[in-house]
Structure 1
Amino acid sequence: MTPVHFNSNGSRAERLAIILNQTELNKLGGSLDMSEAAQRLLQVDRAQAVVVKCGAKGAWVYVAGADPHFVPAFRSMRVFKIGTGDVFTGVFAHYWCERGENAVQAAMAASEAVSFYAETRRLKIAADQREPVRSTNVRVSVFSSGVTLADRLLREEARSALISLGAELVELPSSSLNPDAGIDSALVLADGDPRISLSFVQRARLAGVPTVVFREKGRLPSSKSAKTFYSDDFSTAIYHTFWVPSLCGKSFSTTKTEHRGPVG
């Protein structure tokens, strides 16, 4: 689907904010440079604000005559994605249109509301204060102990999902998992051989690498570790793999101002 400009069909508005993801921005703004594309929308559509959603990293807010402002994503213990885009847009509209907040304040409230909704599947306009996630370029390795076709398909789906969030994938044999491996986090797909999966987790723990263990079958371990997170939900495991370096204060990478993928 090709996005079109707001005024292309004769639409008019007294105040206009455009909310879209970066792929849509690149197409509509005619540039791969986020700032350049956003500035074009501000001019062509005479918008007061352009909000660019960047998935697990957060969003950028562009307002005419001002520097762009970054709004972080907020951590949720579980991540239910269906409907998050509608929640973001609806809450932004409430704060920007009804309450008269500026675009940055409205986007911040919308991002917090998305975090609450993704975790609880309930809408709360004024969400409780939540934990922001620092935006980084995350280097990730995916480990799988499974050998079946289903295991391989799951591994490829996990890799694809992480790339869509903006992660950089690093192919790393388990024997090379050490403090100098140069990765920020690891995702272990643990529904294959439990002994091999446990070995991956132990190596990661010794190397000090924050690790997310996805296990859909059987019970999750009751014991917890400061840098080992368990989940039986695939979407949650993917997002937490992207977030854990920030939460654990570990990152080999640098913060970037260009992001890919949708927030909500």
Structure 2
Amino acid sequence: MSSKNVAHDDELTIVGGVYHEHCLHPGYRNFYGSAGRAASALAHLAVPVLLHTYANDRNAQLIRERAHFDKFKVDIQKSDRPIFFQYDHGLAEPRIYGLPDKPSPELNVRATNVLRYGMLEGTAVVNAEFAVYDPQNVSAPESFHANGSTAKHLALVLNNYEASTLSEKRGLPAAEQAIELSRQNNAQVIIIKQGPAGALVYDNGKISTVPAYETERVFKIGSGDVFAAYFSNAWMIEKLSAHEAANKASRATAYYCENNHFPSPDLLKEFTPAAITLSETFIADGQRSVYLAGPFFSLAQLWLIEQARRNLTDLGLKVFSPYHDVGHGSADDVVQKDLDGIRNADIIFAVGDGLDSGTIYEVGFACANNIPVIFYSENESAEDKKMMEGSGCILCDDYVTAIYKTLWVVSQK
């Protein structure tokens, strides 16, 4: 067991993992993890930060160098090996390498203000006046108190899956989930992130929502880490209400997603993204349908179609895919079924690279029927995309951005 330093009352103590992150496309290599990203993000706001984490000797030196340049303090407990997250793209489930054979000795942290992330090497037992907890676990999130952690004032920052898993009340509306989680965890604040719907905020019995914000581009890796970090600073250090803190965190996260770096206080003040306003029809019936247009005649093409179908479905969209729902066949077998799929769709997601003739026809048919089109193409010239641009298609040269634009457009339609 390790006894850790006591932080100052005006300091924000961050506890969590610092990991290597590699993304195949777009090419990205960095050394952040949840806690490392949060420490650098808040240091850019001139917040006094103390980071507690695990690292082997080589990575410990990297963390100390980052702390020196970003101006935060660190306390590192030795671990055996580095951990790597490998992404194919920003929405892909990462492959994780270097997981420990057994848990490292627990971290023990006593401080006034603590942001605790779930981590892979071990656990952190926290004793705090104020604490924010983000479990960061896609399979079996652990409750804040399960390892003996305590806090006089506790906020949980969760996604929908974590909320339903921790409450063990699957199927409940988010507001009821929040009430149940508050009761079970003796937590004053519950934040449940809800994609384009923003976030539900439970604060001592009062429920409100804050919006998500639309951006020109979306860099997704680490966005959840950033939300928890900015919320923690606003709620614990700036003493804003949970609603105000969540809204500030949502805006700061939008800045990070659009720019892939951390804003200074002045940049954050100047950043005024548009809030995503859900349409009444989307709120009423929830699900929207997307027609997935694109070639599927080679391994590479099929791989991309599979990825897009999975990522769109994960965002709650109902996907009609000609490959999956109709298949190969003669013109008599497939054309009318494909065209019916377009007629019944709320939006088209088109893979444009290669300028496949069938895909281009589907885009034109959708435009003629006043169905919005997201046209994802990285390698085609402006000249080749002129007709799509001139007919009102939304052009995207980044895959993750194209997926999110699809959701944002259809949720406001």
**TM-score > 0.5 by shorter chain:** yes
1:163 is paired with a residue of what secondary structure?
A: helix
Q: Which residue of 2 aligns with 1:259?
A: none
- Deviation of 1:246 after TM superposition, in Å, equals 4.6
In the alignment, the residues of structure 1 paired with residue 371 and residue 360 of structure 2 have an alpha-carbon distance, to the nearest angstrom, of 14
Q: Which residue of 2 aligns with 1:195?
A: 357
Q: Partner amino acid for 2:394? A: F
Q: Partner amino acid for 2:272? A: Q
Q: Which residue of 2 aligns with 1:228?
A: 393
Q: Partner amino acid for 2:379? A: K
> Do the aligned partners of residues 14 and 159 (structure 1) sit closer, same or farther apart at CA in structure 2, a change above 3 Å counting?
same
In the alignment, the residues of structure 2 paired with residue 225 and residue 92 of structure 1 have an alpha-carbon distance, to the nearest angstrom, of 41
CA displacement, residues 169-214 of structure 1 (integer Å, 9 cap, x when unaligned) = 2357442366xx2422110012244333322221121111111011
Q: List runs of 5+ in structure 1 lacking aligned partners.
A: 251-264
In the alignment, the residues of structure 2 paired with residue 82 and residue 106 of structure 1 have an alpha-carbon distance, to the nearest angstrom, of 22
Q: Which residue of 2 aligns with 1:133?
A: 276
For the pair 1:213 / 2:352, whether they are aligned, the reply is: no
Higher fraction of strand: 2
Q: Which residue of 2 aligns with 1:242?
A: 407
> Do the aligned partners of residues 222 and 120 (structure 1) sit closer, same or farther apart at CA in structure 2, a change above 3 Å counting?
farther
Q: Which residue of 1 aligns with 2:293?
A: 143
| Matching residue within 300, 307, 321 for 1:157 | 307
In the alignment, the residues of structure 2 paired with residue 114 and residue 244 of structure 1 have an alpha-carbon distance, to the nearest angstrom, of 20
Q: Partner amino acid for 1:61? A: V
In the alignment, the residues of structure 2 paired with residue 187 and residue 231 of structure 1 have an alpha-carbon distance, to the nearest angstrom, of 11
Q: Partner amino acid for 1:77? A: E
| Matching residue within 75, 78, 83 for 2:217 | 78
Q: Partner amino acid for 1:130? A: P
| Matching residue within 217, 221, 231 for 1:92 | 231
2:150 is paired with a residue of what secondary structure?
A: coil
For the pair 1:112 / 2:251, whether they are aligned, the reply is: yes
Tell which structure's C-alpha radius of gyration is larger: 2
Q: Which residue of 2 aligns with 1:53?
A: 193
In the alignment, the residues of structure 1 paired with residue 166 and residue 410 of structure 2 have an alpha-carbon distance, to the nearest angstrom, of 33
CA displacement, residues 215-249 of structure 1 (integer Å, 9 cap, x when unaligned) = 132334367347411112111110011112355xx
For the pair 1:19 / 2:157, whether they are aligned, the reply is: yes
In the alignment, the residues of structure 2 paired with residue 207 and residue 3 of structure 1 have an alpha-carbon distance, to the nearest angstrom, of 45
In the alignment, the residues of structure 2 paired with residue 192 and residue 219 of structure 1 have an alpha-carbon distance, to the nearest angstrom, of 11
1:14 is paired with a residue of what secondary structure?
A: strand
In the alignment, the residues of structure 1 paired with residue 243 and residue 357 of structure 2 have an alpha-carbon distance, to the nearest angstrom, of 48
* Aligned 8 A contact 1:177 1:207 in 2: no
- Deviation of 1:48 after TM superposition, in Å, equals 1.3
State the aligned residue count. Answer: 245
In the alignment, the residues of structure 2 paired with residue 227 and residue 110 of structure 1 have an alpha-carbon distance, to the nearest angstrom, of 33
* Aligned 8 A contact 1:74 1:115 in 2: yes
CA displacement, residues 129-159 of structure 1 (integer Å, 9 cap, x when unaligned) = 2111133332211111341122122111101
For the pair 1:42 / 2:207, whether they are aligned, the reply is: no
* Larger relative contact order (Cα-Cα within 8 Å, sequence gap ≥ 6): 1
Q: Which residue of 1 aligns with 2:131?
A: none
- Deviation of 1:107 after TM superposition, in Å, equals 1.0
> Do the aligned partners of residues 225 and 30 (structure 1) sit closer, same or farther apart at CA in structure 2, a change above 3 Å counting?
farther
In the alignment, the residues of structure 1 paired with residue 392 and residue 163 of structure 2 have an alpha-carbon distance, to the nearest angstrom, of 36
TM-score by length of 1: 0.84
Q: Partner amino acid for 1:202? A: G
In the alignment, the residues of structure 1 paired with residue 197 and residue 242 of structure 2 have an alpha-carbon distance, to the nearest angstrom, of 18
Root-mean-square deviation (Å): 2.1
Q: Partner amino acid for 2:158? A: L
CA displacement, residues 102-123 of structure 1 (integer Å, 9 cap, x when unaligned) = 1111111111111111111122
In the alignment, the residues of structure 1 paired with residue 391 and residue 162 of structure 2 have an alpha-carbon distance, to the nearest angstrom, of 38
> Do the aligned partners of residues 86 and 23 (structure 1) sit closer, same or farther apart at CA in structure 2, a change above 3 Å counting?
same
Which stretch of the first structure deviates more once superposed, 225-234 or 70-79? 225-234
* Aligned 8 A contact 1:212 1:241 in 2: yes
